Amino acid sequence: MRAIKGMDITTKLKKWILNKKREELLRSTQLVNNIFKQNNLIYTCNWRRMAGLFKLLSLPSSLTKLSLFSLLSCFSSHHLHFTTKHFSIRQTVNKSQMSTGISLKGFTAVLLLFLLLVCSGLDVCEGRRGRHWKHRKGTVTSLVKKKGKGKAIGGSHNNHHAKPSPIPSPSPSPSPSHDSIYNVLDFGAKGDGETDDTKAFEATWAEACKVEASTVMVPSGYAFLIGPISFSGPYCQPNIVFQLDGMIVAPTNPKAWGAGLLWWIEFTKLKGITIQGSGIIEGRGSVWWTQSQIDDDPIAINDDDDLGTELGTKMPRSNRRTGMGWPESFHMQALRFYGSYNVTVTGIVIQNSPQCHLKFDNCNAVHVFNMSVASPGNSLNTDGIHLQNTKDVAIHHCNLSCGDDCVSVQTGCSTVKIHSVNCGPGHGISIGGLGRDNTKACVSNITVQDVSMYGTMTGVRIKTWQGGSGSVQSIRFTNIRVSEVQTPIVIDQFYCDRTSCKNQTSAVALSGISYENIKGTYTVKPVHLACSDDTPCSELSLTDIELQPMQEHYHMYDPYCWQAFGELYTPTVPPIICLQAGKPTSDRMFSDHEACESA
């Protein structure tokens, strides 16, 4: 047998076996010794490479497996000179043994057996599932896959099991690409609060309108002065986002408004329009409020324009200008949507509007949430949110402070849900006024629930003019909390915003109205149900009503009822003994209901 250069590999293997699993691999080591002796093999060892091999054997099992299988593959290739990344082996065979027909195949077979035994001792010969090695307790897997050049897309840290991937959730809507964002600053807007940026906004919209799911960006840190503007959409692509993070301010110069307009910012005939962000629409309305000559409860002003008028440009009753140049009785709605589908308003603040803060005309699928209206209680005619001829509406999680109705529901509205809203100051949440100037009004399927009101004129109210027709039905007020509210529950079918109104017989028919779980304090009267003689209110239901006077010994009015028919399902506080049981004898209401259903 020829001399062996370097340390005997058997000794090295034995040391390694003692550190790992000496008992399991002892027989395998002896077998290797015999193989080398019987085949008269001479091998040289590159110690740096051998050190690398044993270092490799201490690596995670997945890499060890790969190296061992590579070694096995090389031996089975029948090459006399064999080189791997970790060590070199040079094999020679005696001529005498060559003549006896000793074959490398026998050596390879035995070596294969040895390697399999080593694998079994290392727990590295494991079953496969799919394309991944099976994880076993106490082992660590570190597989790194590449996708493209140099991009690692997987892997785990040593000594930690990789956490299972969570169940994939639906992918969020993709963020708009840079190409679909149109910043008003790029179109010439200054944002200094003094320069008129109206044309810059118009130019920005003109470009964004051409691209589906585009975004008009109004950046934070700027105040943009703009005059009356209409973002029209008959030919616009759908799903445009108006990202309002800065401030938009109204002009205070009367000349900037012209004459005949009832809106300041308008979006018309759009499919999928979202106004969102953390910005503010500042109406600077105080100069308008001081010039107002209208009575304190101005629902008539909201209805003065022809119902459903497309452009909303009908002039108020008076267009005389005051000495300061402002028209009397002329008020501007801050933000108006007309003839649009799938409208969302969220995040923003609308404050100090000259008149109504947020109005929806002839819209479908409206969603308003997490936004605020902020104006003082003495700001006349400033409805918070005004709905007219609009269907499928959700208003929730809003803070509404204004000088008129926090939410006003007008004719043509159905399937409206208002919940989780704070209201006050203001006039409460109202349906109406309806039927002005002998018009027909139809309202149905309205729910108001989980609402808190503080310091408002009324809580939940329905108001109609004398002489109207049509119907209000399927109305539900539930879970209302009132604090220092003048009159929490109101039906007024003799509504009049002037000193006097003409007495008329006909009226809008009211039926199917429920009041549930309304509790809190009042300052004037707990309940006021004033219904029409010709068309009494029917199917009123009251459940869990508890209304206490704010001051026990202060003069308060008792509950008032007139031509109100319904049922008390629980005792009320105070007792509402004026409600009449049963149904009225008039058939007028049924014909009015049918007229609305057939319309």
Residue 404 annotated among the catalytic residues of the structure: yes
Contact 482, 547 (CB under 8 A): yes
Terminal CA-CA length for the chain: 111
CA 23 to chain CA mean position, Å = 64
CA 274 to chain CA mean position, Å = 11
SS3 307: coil
Contact 283, 264 (CB under 8 A): yes
Q: Is the pLDDT of residue 87 over 80?
A: no
* Ramachandran bin of 476, using left for φ above 0, alpha for ψ from -120 to 50, beta for the remaining angles: beta
Output helix, strand, coil percentages for the chain, rounded to the nearest 5: 20, 35, 45
Burial class (CB in 10 A: 0-12, 13-18, 19+), 582: exposed
Q: What percent of the chain has pLDDT over 70?
A: 61
DSSP character at residue 254: G
Residue 297 annotated among the catalytic residues of the structure: no
Q: Model confidence over 231-271: pLDDT tens digits?
A: 998 899 999 999 999 999 999 887 887 777 789 999 999 99
Q: Is the pLDDT of residue 68 over 80?
A: no
Q: Model confidence over 482-506: pLDDT tens digits?
A: 999 999 999 999 998 877 888 999 9
pLDDT for residue 253: 83
Q: Is the pLDDT of residue 415 over 80?
A: yes
**Candidates 331, 386, 427, 593; catalytic one:** 427
SS3 sequence, 177-217?
CHHHEEEHHHHCCCCEEEEECHHHHHHHHHHHCCCCCCEEE
Q: Model confidence over 175-193: pLDDT tens digits?
A: 555 679 999 999 999 999 9
Give CA–CA dist 349/228, Å, rounded. 19
Q: Is the pLDDT of residue 393 over 80?
A: yes
Q: Model confidence over 342-374: pLDDT tens digits?
A: 999 999 999 999 999 999 999 999 999 999 999
SS3 386: strand
Q: Is the pLDDT of residue 555 over 80?
A: no
Give CA–CA dist 28/243, Å, rounded. 73
Backbone angles phi, psi at 366, to 5 degrees: -110, 135
Of 83-97, 203-217, 285-299, the poorest mean pLDDT is in 83-97
**DSSP string covering 540-556:** EEEEEEEEEESSTTS--
Helix axes 22-38, 104-122, angle to 10 degrees: 170
Backbone angles phi, psi at 240, to 5 degrees: -85, 140
Task: For tokens 């047998």, name the residue.
Answer: 1
Q: Is the pLDDT of residue 43 over 70?
A: no
Give CA–CA dist 489/433, Å, rounded. 15
What does CATH list as the number for 178-316+328-394?
2.160.20.10
SS3 434: strand
| pTM exceeding the 0.75 threshold for the entire prediction | no
Average pLDDT, the chain: 76
Q: Model confidence over 141-172: pLDDT tens digits?
A: 332 233 333 333 233 333 333 333 333 443 44
**DSSP string covering 84-130:** -SS-EEE----HHHHHTT--HHHHHHHHHHHHHHHHHHHT----EET
Two tokens at 521? 């304090």
**Candidates 404, 405, 492, 497; catalytic one:** 404
The answer to whether the peptide bond before residue 433 is cis (omega within 30 degrees of 0) is yes
pLDDT for residue 277: 98
For the chain, give every residue range classified as CATH 2.160.20.10.
178-316+328-394
